[in-house]
Amino acid sequence: MIHNANGHLAISSITERRYLTVKGDGISTLKILISENDTSRFRKEKIFNKCRDELEMVIEKDKECQPIAIGNWDYGATYIEKIEIVNKGIIEKFENINNAISLFNYARYDIKCKTFDDFIAGKMKILEINGVKGEPIHIYDRKFTLLEAYKEIFRHWEFIMKISKRNLSNGINCPNALEGFKMLFRHYRIKKNALKNKIVK
């Protein structure tokens, strides 16, 4: 998450998303391994649907298998906070990106890269940019308790409030309740149509 609540850009969280991976034992099928995996067993039906042709395959002992390449919580992805890697160079890179876009005071960038060294070097693809609706996904790291996760959400809401107050004091018009509802309805309609027309490979 990046934000500009105090007059300068700051990075409040960086999170690595790892695809679901299971390790074979030479006996169990992929279906069993997914069912017994801590991060996927409660989402197994969705995952089974994505890799139905390989479910009865027995995975070799100690071989790691990545059944699907979807970095999403609903498909067994693991989230790991990496705030410790933030440095001046990374902040400068995102300042340059933000200046080029000239749009965001608060955002979550969803980025794909091969390694963290590539990320630090700026060798990455921006897959998506989320605004204030994008939650800080580091809260899904297992080290966070439920209470700590809520604290992180409230902390980021505070950033949003500071940005909103600053924008209002700078004369930016705020939509009224009816205009806000219309904007929200238009957003959901566009999102629904986009998902309906999306081709899933």
Q: What are the tens digits of pLDDT across the range 113-144? A: 888 888 888 888 999 888 888 889 999 999 99
- Across the range 190-196, mean pLDDT stands at 77
User: What is the pLDDT, as a whole number, of residue 48?
Assistant: 92
Q: Are 138 and 79 in contact (CB under 8 A)?
A: yes
pLDDT at 199 over 50: no
pTM confidence score: 0.78
End-to-end CA distance of the chain, in Å?
29
The residues facing 17 across adjacent strands are 79
pLDDT at 5 over 80: no
- Across the range 26-49, mean pLDDT stands at 89
> Over the chain, what is the mean pLDDT?
87
Residue 156: enclosing H or E segment and its boundaries? Answer: helix 146-169
* Number of helical (H) and strand (E) elements in the chain, helices listed first: 6, 8
Residue 90: enclosing H or E segment and its boundaries? Answer: helix 88-101
